[in-house]
Structure 1
């Protein structure tokens, strides 16, 4: 297909496609003349992946470039995970995170095979430090329950990857799951919060009439 058809099928403007080509996010088509090229369904798929990374995942062009380069490489899946995690994570200087907060994260993830500079470990410790500073770190197992939920989500992520037979599909799922999974879980968490708060606090609910039942965990 020509670029105009690629634009129609993918719902991406021609100018945007040309930008992705210049930035080497999208592989070039097969040249048929100095000013013409043919594109395939693989280009349509890549365009949809690019839009997902940029528009939904919130990556910058440079971050998306690093992620896609890793996806197109022969790196082991664990290394691709690292690239994707770095792309979606704020850079945090380990020295800036209080040792007590890091110890709390290590306590609730005891037994996990995690590197000291894992961006999630540092980010979680930074959040815990902030919660402690404002007096909102619950002693009723809030962090521990989050850790348990995170482990379930990670198992779901890896089960999804393991179900895919080919290496290319596995690598793409690593990228998509890491970048878009955060947005998916955030959306489902907010949905669940409305559901549970309605069950507990709306007039007529059992928790509304019995405040002890409505305590936060």
Structure 2
């Protein structure tokens, strides 16, 4: 397809597509002549991903470029490729390791991972942004006087593991490694708000069942 058709099918203006091409967010098309290039379904898929990252995820172009660099890195195994792409997304600030609540949260999260048997997750604790986010969250609860320890967190963690199984089952329906990584990134940007909304709707439903509307 030519640039005009790519624009029409994606809903992205030709000027924006040219900008993405200049910034390296979109692979160059196949040159037909000095002024014309052709694009394919891969360009359309990548364009939709870039648009979601910038418009929905509010990511700066530099971050999008970094994420896509990991997505396209054929030298990485699947786990590292997915992890590197997701870790390049914006994360919570680093926890203050001198804070007593953070130190307690580290212990609680360590006990949680041990109880769940998540040995792979435990091995990544020094580098995983998700681990740091969990520590920050648990520390915040403890600072406010709520003892959200391993025992209370474990049922939630098991539910999240079921969600992760569904996530990766869906990722594996895509043929290429790049598409799998793209789908994981898109899920992190689009699926997490959906899951958060479902959680809140479920809370509303359960509250109404238990207490009614009075």
TM-score class, shorter: 0.7 to 0.9
1:173 maps to 183
The answer to whether the Cα contact below 8 Å between 1:80 and 1:174 also exists between their aligned partners in 2 is no
Paired residue secondary structure (2:32)? strand
Using the alignment, how far apart are the partners of 2:108 and 2:87 within structure 1? 22
Residue 196 of structure 1 pairs with residue 206 of structure 2: yes
Which residue, 103, 122, 137 being the options, matches 1:127? Answer: 137
The answer to whether the Cα contact below 8 Å between 1:84 and 1:178 also exists between their aligned partners in 2 is no
Q: Deviations over 1:155-187 (max 9, x none)?
A: 222222344454343333333333433223222
Quick check: which has more Rg, 1 or 2?
Answer: 1
Using the alignment, how far apart are the partners of 2:82 and 2:39 within structure 1? 29
1:211 maps to none
> What TM-score results when the alignment is normalised by the length of structure 1?
0.81
Q: Are the structure 2 counterparts of residues 182 and 20 from structure 1 closer, same or farther at C-alpha, using a change threshold of 3 Å? A: same
| Cα shift at 1:138 | 4.8
The residue correspondences of 1:27-42 to structure 2 (distance < 5 A) are 27-42=27-42
1:106 maps to 110
RMSD: 2.4
For structure 1, the residue ranges without an aligned partner over 5 or more in a row are 205-217
| Cα shift at 1:37 | 1.8
2:85 maps to 84
Q: Are the structure 2 counterparts of residues 133 and 91 from structure 1 closer, same or farther at C-alpha, using a change threshold of 3 Å? A: closer
Count of residues paired in the alignment: 204
2:68 maps to 68
> What TM-score results when the alignment is normalised by the length of structure 2?
0.82
1:45 maps to 45
2:94 maps to 93
Structure 1 window deviating more from structure 2 (143-152 vs 93-102): it is 93-102
| Cα shift at 1:27 | 0.9
Q: Deviations over 1:94-147 (max 9, x none)?
A: 553622101111111212112122111111111111111112345795422221
Q: Are the structure 2 counterparts of residues 85 and 140 from structure 1 closer, same or farther at C-alpha, using a change threshold of 3 Å? A: closer
Residue 160 of structure 1 pairs with residue 170 of structure 2: yes
